[in-house]
Amino acid sequence: LLLGVPLTLGASVAGGLHNVPVSDPEVQLAAHAAEQTYNQRSKSPYYSRGLQVLSAQRQVVSGLMLHLTMELVETLCKKNQDGVMELKKCLLPPPSQQKKVRCNFQVWSQPWLKRTQIEQKCNSVGH
Protein backbone atom coordinates (compact mmCIF):
# COMPACT_ATOMS: atom_id res chain seq x y z
CA LEU A 1 0.00 0.00 0.00
CA LEU A 2 1.39 3.37 -1.02
CA LEU A 3 -0.31 6.03 1.04
CA GLY A 4 0.07 9.67 0.12
CA VAL A 5 1.10 8.98 -3.49
CA PRO A 6 -0.99 10.95 -6.00
CA LEU A 7 -3.16 8.82 -8.27
CA THR A 8 -1.91 10.69 -11.32
CA LEU A 9 1.84 11.09 -11.62
CA GLY A 10 1.45 14.17 -13.84
CA ALA A 11 -0.91 15.96 -11.47
CA SER A 12 0.05 19.54 -10.63
CA VAL A 13 -0.16 20.96 -7.16
CA ALA A 14 -1.85 24.36 -7.10
CA GLY A 15 0.73 27.12 -6.81
CA GLY A 16 3.76 24.92 -7.52
CA LEU A 17 6.13 25.58 -10.43
CA HIS A 18 6.81 22.66 -12.77
CA ASN A 19 9.25 22.60 -15.70
CA VAL A 20 7.62 22.14 -19.09
CA PRO A 21 9.38 21.22 -22.37
CA VAL A 22 9.82 24.33 -24.52
CA SER A 23 8.42 22.30 -27.44
CA ASP A 24 5.08 21.82 -25.63
CA PRO A 25 2.25 23.24 -27.83
CA GLU A 26 0.88 25.20 -24.86
CA VAL A 27 4.31 26.83 -24.39
CA GLN A 28 4.54 27.64 -28.11
CA LEU A 29 1.11 29.34 -28.04
CA ALA A 30 2.08 31.34 -24.96
CA ALA A 31 5.39 32.32 -26.60
CA HIS A 32 3.51 33.59 -29.66
CA ALA A 33 1.19 35.66 -27.44
CA ALA A 34 4.21 37.01 -25.53
CA GLU A 35 5.91 37.98 -28.80
CA GLN A 36 2.80 39.89 -29.93
CA THR A 37 2.52 41.66 -26.58
CA TYR A 38 6.20 42.58 -26.65
CA ASN A 39 5.77 44.19 -30.08
CA GLN A 40 2.68 46.11 -28.98
CA ARG A 41 4.51 47.52 -25.94
CA SER A 42 7.89 48.12 -27.58
CA LYS A 43 8.71 51.66 -28.66
CA SER A 44 11.00 50.39 -31.43
CA PRO A 45 9.91 51.23 -34.99
CA TYR A 46 10.76 47.61 -35.93
CA TYR A 47 9.08 44.32 -35.09
CA SER A 48 10.93 41.81 -32.95
CA ARG A 49 10.52 38.06 -33.15
CA GLY A 50 11.29 35.24 -30.78
CA LEU A 51 14.58 33.51 -31.46
CA GLN A 52 14.06 30.81 -28.86
CA VAL A 53 12.26 29.87 -25.69
CA LEU A 54 15.06 29.21 -23.20
CA SER A 55 12.91 27.79 -20.39
CA ALA A 56 9.28 27.27 -19.45
CA GLN A 57 7.48 26.51 -16.21
CA ARG A 58 3.79 25.88 -15.52
CA GLN A 59 1.98 27.07 -12.41
CA VAL A 60 -1.63 26.26 -11.56
CA VAL A 61 -3.24 29.35 -10.02
CA SER A 62 -6.74 30.69 -10.65
CA GLY A 63 -6.19 29.49 -14.18
CA LEU A 64 -2.82 28.63 -15.67
CA MET A 65 0.36 30.70 -15.44
CA LEU A 66 3.25 29.95 -17.77
CA HIS A 67 6.63 31.45 -16.88
CA LEU A 68 8.73 31.80 -20.03
CA THR A 69 12.28 32.98 -20.56
CA MET A 70 12.71 33.99 -24.19
CA GLU A 71 15.27 35.63 -26.40
CA LEU A 72 13.90 38.05 -29.02
CA VAL A 73 15.67 39.87 -31.83
CA GLU A 74 14.71 43.05 -33.69
CA THR A 75 13.90 42.42 -37.37
CA LEU A 76 14.16 44.68 -40.42
CA CYS A 77 10.33 44.88 -40.74
CA LYS A 78 8.92 48.28 -39.83
CA LYS A 79 5.80 48.42 -37.68
CA ASN A 80 4.13 51.01 -39.90
CA GLN A 81 3.86 48.59 -42.84
CA ASP A 82 0.27 47.81 -43.82
CA GLY A 83 -1.35 44.52 -42.92
CA VAL A 84 -0.62 41.86 -40.37
CA MET A 85 3.04 40.96 -40.34
CA GLU A 86 4.12 37.32 -40.40
CA LEU A 87 7.25 37.71 -38.30
CA LYS A 88 8.89 34.51 -39.52
CA LYS A 89 9.23 36.16 -42.93
CA CYS A 90 10.96 39.26 -41.54
CA LEU A 91 14.66 39.40 -42.32
CA LEU A 92 17.22 39.87 -39.56
CA PRO A 93 20.15 42.27 -39.65
CA PRO A 94 23.67 40.78 -39.85
CA PRO A 95 24.67 39.14 -36.53
CA SER A 96 27.01 42.02 -35.58
CA GLN A 97 24.10 44.49 -35.86
CA GLN A 98 21.37 42.48 -34.14
CA LYS A 99 19.56 43.96 -31.16
CA LYS A 100 18.53 41.16 -28.82
CA VAL A 101 16.60 41.13 -25.58
CA ARG A 102 16.05 38.41 -23.02
CA CYS A 103 12.61 38.55 -21.46
CA ASN A 104 10.85 36.84 -18.60
CA PHE A 105 7.15 36.58 -19.41
CA GLN A 106 4.31 35.50 -17.16
CA VAL A 107 1.37 34.45 -19.31
CA TRP A 108 -1.72 34.04 -17.11
CA SER A 109 -4.63 32.36 -18.85
CA GLN A 110 -8.19 32.13 -17.51
CA PRO A 111 -10.09 30.54 -20.42
CA TRP A 112 -13.48 30.54 -18.68
CA LEU A 113 -13.20 34.35 -18.44
CA LYS A 114 -11.74 34.57 -21.97
CA ARG A 115 -8.86 36.49 -20.45
CA THR A 116 -5.08 36.31 -20.82
CA GLN A 117 -2.73 38.70 -19.02
CA ILE A 118 0.94 39.01 -19.87
CA GLU A 119 3.64 40.56 -17.68
CA GLN A 120 7.13 41.09 -19.06
CA LYS A 121 10.58 42.09 -17.83
CA CYS A 122 13.24 42.47 -20.51
CA ASN A 123 16.95 43.27 -20.63
CA SER A 124 19.27 43.88 -23.57
CA VAL A 125 21.61 41.06 -24.51
CA GLY A 126 25.13 41.88 -25.74
CA HIS A 127 26.24 40.84 -29.24
Instruction: Please name every residue paired with 53 in a beta bridge, in sequence order, or none if there are none.
Output: 70
Within a domain: 6? no
Within a domain: 61? yes
Within a domain: 116? yes
127 falls in which pLDDT band (50, 70, 90)?
low
End-to-end CA distance of the chain: 57
Give the structural domain span for 37.
17-125
Predicted confidence (pLDDT) per residue in 43-80, tens digit: 999 999 999 999 999 999 889 999 999 999 999 999 87
Count helices and strands in the chain by DSSP H and E runs:
1, 5
Burial group, residue 33, by CB count within 10 angstroms (0-12, 13-18, 19+): middle
Domain count for the chain = 1
Report DSSP state, residue 25. Answer: H
d(CA 15, CA 69): 19
Which CATH number do you get for residue 64? 3.10.450.10
d(CA 40, CA 90): 17
Predicted confidence (pLDDT) per residue in 99-111, tens digit: 999 999 999 999 8
Which SS3 state, helix, strand or coil, does residue 24 take? coil
In the chain, where does DSSP find H-type helix? 25-41
> Which helix (H) or strand (E) covers residue 120, if one does?
strand 115-125
Which residues neighbour 23 within 8 Å (Cβ) at sequence distance 6 or greater? Answer: none
